[in-house]
Homo-oligomer: A and B are copies of this chain.
Amino acid sequence: MVGGGQGAFIGAVHRTAAAIDGEIDLVCGAFSSTAERSKASGELLMIDPARCYGDYKEMIKKESKRKDKMDIVSIVTPNHMHFAPAKMALEHGFHVICDKPVTFTLAEAKKLKEVIQSTGLTFALTHNYTGYPMVKQARALVRSGAIGKIRKVVVEYPQGWLAFLEEKKGYKQAEWRTDPKRSGIAGAIGDIGTHAENLAEYITGLKITSLCADVSTFVDGRLLDDDASVLLRFDNGAKGILYCSQIANGEENALRIRVYGELGGLDWRQEEPNTLVHKSQTFHRIYRPNVGELDPLAQANIRLPNGHPEGYLEAFANIYRNFARTVRKRMNGEEPSEIELDFPSIDEGIRGMLFIESVIQSGKSKSKWVDFKEA
């Protein structure tokens, strides 16, 4: 693990996600920026002190030489620290799983894709919300034609935790996310907008082709955006709205997507993730884990009987598990199944970086539509 020292939120999430299914062991880490603090973090995690390293370079170098070396590197640092460790890990033969957005810039993301392709190793990007089984069921329903040709997509991701200037109050999670040097050109758009974009493309199977954004920084003194409203157009002619905000005061983590097709609509909300609503003019139906027959892709990502709620960590764990099984199969020279391959990778990472750059560009533009593709 690179990053995830004491006080880090997402590092703990990654560790739990990896642990849930008992298929991945945490064996070493460069948890913090000094060897000492890294060891302190490692001690709490009951990691062999000899394998708590001062930085990712040391970790990758030394682990490479061990007989019982790690198989996978998990990167949970802020955005500006994704590319270099990912590249080096891959170049030393380690598979990589990395937090999103994939890199600091689009250019880095494209270089990373080249490294992945040239090494032939496996890369996963933790767009964890696509790990929810009901998200997978939604995707399957779309694929099956249950709602017909898609006309309209509404994906929203309001949060309220940055309604005040948290980054000046010593709140670490706020600090780096609002710091252009660590987060990149975007704040909320990169942190949560990319999740919304990824979710929309994952469920619909469509690609955004152009967009029109109103990008805002509402909190005085903030350096990056904290709210964006975006009109979308998709490659099949569908239209959409994407809305992300970190100043939607009172909202928790209210990612939601609605997809309307010629025959019906779907509605999924992250805060009640085990419910998927499928509506048409003639019926309202609710899909729930282990109630009736679900798509195999959804079914494979459920652990518990119906009514036993699985949540955020289990969805995150699904990304880890599918990735780990793919890695294991490939290490054994086997072909992973479609179910095992169901995790986001570098292509989704590049889409995310394109999204960030397009939205920021559109926010500054006086013309209505900006293409969602490289200039």
Chain B contacts of A22 at CB under 8 A?
A: 15-16, 19, 26, 45-46
The answer on a CB contact under 8 Å between A243 and B308 is: no
Complex partner residue of A239 from B159, B227, B254, B307, CB under 8 angstroms: B227
B241, B264, B265, B287: which contacts A229 (Cβ < 8 A)? B241
Contacts of A307 in B (CB 8 A): 159, 251-254, 270-271
CB contacts under 8 Å to B, within A325-375, are: 365-369
Q: Bound state CA distance, A196 and B214, in angstroms?
A: 20
A227 touches which one: B152, B291, B313 (CB < 8 A)?
Answer: B152
Of A80-88, A113-121, A274-282, the one touching chain B: A274-282
B281 touches A163 (CB 8 A): yes
| B265 touching A160, Cβ below 8 Å | yes
Decide: A16 near B21, CB < 8 A? Known: A216-B239, A271-B309: yes
- Name A266's closest neighbour in chain B (CB-CB): B250
Interface flag for A288 (CB, 8 Å): yes
Please determine whether B306 and A312 come into contact, CB atoms closer than 8 angstroms: no
- Say whether, besides A20-B19, A214-B239, A282 and B288 are in contact (CB < 8 Å): no
Assuming A15-B22, A291-B281, A368-B212, is B231 touching A249 (CB within 8 A)?
Answer: no
Chain B interface: which of A57-65, A136-144, A255-263?
A255-263
User: Shortest CB–CB separation between residue A172 and chain B, in angstroms?
Assistant: 12
Q: Given the complex of chains A and B, what is the CA–CA distance between A229 and B46 in angstroms?
A: 48
Residues of B within 8 A of A270 (CB): 307, 309
Do the beta carbons of B263 and A249 come within 8 Å of each other? yes
Contact A154 B231 (CB under 8 A): no
Copies in the complex: 4
A323 to B116, CA, bound (A): 44
For the complex formed, measure the closest distance between the CB of A279 and the CB atoms of chain B, giving whole angstroms. Answer: 3
Closest residue on chain B to residue A241 by CB atoms? B229
Q: Does A285 contact B (CB under 8 A)?
A: yes
- Residues of chain A in range 218-276 having any CB-CB distance to chain B below 8 Å: 218, 227, 229, 231, 233, 239-241, 243, 245, 247-254, 258, 260-265, 267, 270-274
- Please give, as numbers and ranges, the residues of chain B lying within 8 Å of A282 by CB-CB distance: 291-293
A13 to B20, CA, bound (A): 10
CA distance A253 to B291 in the complex (A): 12
Contacts A243-B241, A314-B313 given; indicate if A251 touches B279 (C-beta within 8 A).
yes
Q: Which residues of B contact A45 (CB under 8 A)?
A: 22
A252 to B275 alpha-carbon distance, docked (Å): 12
Q: Which 9 A-B pairs have the closest CB atoms?
A: A253-B307, A252-B307, A250-B279, A250-B265, A309-B311, A311-B311, A282-B292, A284-B286, A252-B306
Q: What are 9 contact pairs spanning A and B, CB under 8 A? A: A20-B20, A152-B218, A163-B260, A241-B241, A248-B265, A250-B278, A253-B307, A309-B309, A309-B311
Known: A212-B368, A251-B265, A270-B307. 13 other contacts (CB 8 A): A15-B22, A19-B19, A151-B227, A154-B243, A160-B280, A229-B241, A241-B241, A253-B306, A253-B307, A271-B307, A308-B312, A309-B312, A311-B314
